[in-house]
Amino acid sequence: MDNTFSKWKNGLAKTSKSAFGRVASILGASEITDETWDDLEALLIQADLGISTTTDIVEALQRNTRDFGWVRSDELKTALRAELRSRLDDQQNINLAETPPSVILLVGVNGSGKTTSAAKLGARFIAQDKKVLFGAADTFRAAAVEQLQVWGERLQIGVISGQPESDPGAVAYNTVQAGIARDVDIILIDTAGRLHTRFNLMQELEKVERVVGKALSSAPHAVWLVMDTTTGENALQQARAFKESVNVTGLILSKLDSSARGGMVFAIRNELKLPILFAGLGEKVEDLEIFNPDAFIEGILSEF
């Protein structure tokens, strides 16, 4: 099997075994009955697809069944695969600045995987011969700066930081200025996931977004929201709040490997209407993959 596909298959084992494995188990040699539709609907909802996507898919399959005169429930498998695939966009391009540096803000709730994703992205850009700089704009949590510095040392990427409790906007501004002075290609700014209140957090992020635009008028070139896919509906609600505050341009779906809720990718696509750019398929630095919709479908349906 192609290396990329096997990585996705392993990374999505929890989702394919539990959520979609159950779907596969009801689609067999048995006849299609009303119960098949009820079970399918219930299992797709349990697989975190969301109600509207589930309803759409079940209706589409019912239409196909009538049109093609399908009798056995395993005839639904291929059609289900096609319905799922048609609900994902093709692999997205990552549009950054035409002339370097590109400034990328990483946002998301605490623990969602921002700092780890910054490291993974840093490694990915370095592998493309890009010069990278990190900005540690999470000045709220004591260990946050050190965590990024550890990655910086390991990956040989510089880190701009400020004093604890200092202004994150100032750190972000200094990072962009330093990035221009050092002639880097990519500036990755890690932000806080928690402040005293969510209102404070959103205000702070808005400020960081504004301030980097003062340091470089075209910046930020990207604001990537890191979503923890183990948290289901919660992650969707939080994403809506981020989207209202800052101009989120793309999504990084973290922890797909430890989640049985990979099906939420469909709900995310349907509700947030934002490009899904990367997927976290493990904790290691090489475990960030460009979101590949075909490999994703193969991975979640590997029990089919």
Ligand X SMILES: Nc1nc2c(ncn2[C@@H]2O[C@H](COP(=O)(O)OP(=O)(O)OP(=O)(O)O)[C@@H](O)[C@H]2O)c(=O)[nH]1
User: For residues 188 and 113, what is the distance between their CA atoms, to the nearest angstrom?
Assistant: 14
The only residue of 36, 54, 112, 115 in contact with Mg ion, by rule CB under 5 A: 115
Give me the 91-130 binding string for ligand X, x by CB under 6 A, dash otherwise. -----------------x-xxxxxxx--------------
Structure tokens belonging to residue 160: 């701009």
List CB contacts of 177: < 8 A, sequence separation 6 or more. 215
Q: Which is nearer to ligand X, 59 or 286 (CB)?
A: 286
End-to-end CA gap in the chain:
17
> Whose CB is nearest to ligand X?
280
> CA 81: distance to chain centroid?
22
- Helices then strands, each counted (H, E), the chain: 13, 8
Residue count, binding to ligand X (CB under 6 A): 20
Give me the 154-183 binding string for Mg ion, x by CB under 5 A, dash otherwise. ------------------------------
Give me the 66-105 binding string for Mg ion, x by CB under 5 A, dash otherwise. ----------------------------------------
Residues 5-24 that bind Mg ion (CB under 5 A): none
> Whose CB is nearest to Mg ion?
115
Q: Shortest Cβ distance from residue 112 to ligand X (Å)? A: 4
144 is a site residue for ligand X (CB under 6 A): yes
Residues 255-284 that bind ligand X (CB under 6 A): 255, 257-258, 280, 282-283
User: For residues 242 and 224, what is the distance between their CA atoms, to the nearest angstrom?
Assistant: 10
The only residue of 152, 162, 193, 250 in contact with ligand X, by rule CB under 6 A: 193
Burial level of 74, CB count in 10 A (0-12/13-18/19+)?
middle
User: For residues 167 and 291, what is the distance between their CA atoms, to the nearest angstrom?
Assistant: 34
Classify residue 293 by its DSSP letter.
H
Length reported for the chain = 304
The bridge status of strand 276-280 relative to strand 288-290 is antiparallel
Binding site for ligand X (CB under 6 A): 108, 110-116, 138, 141, 144, 193, 254-255, 257-258, 280, 282-283, 287
Binding site for Mg ion (CB under 5 A): 114-115
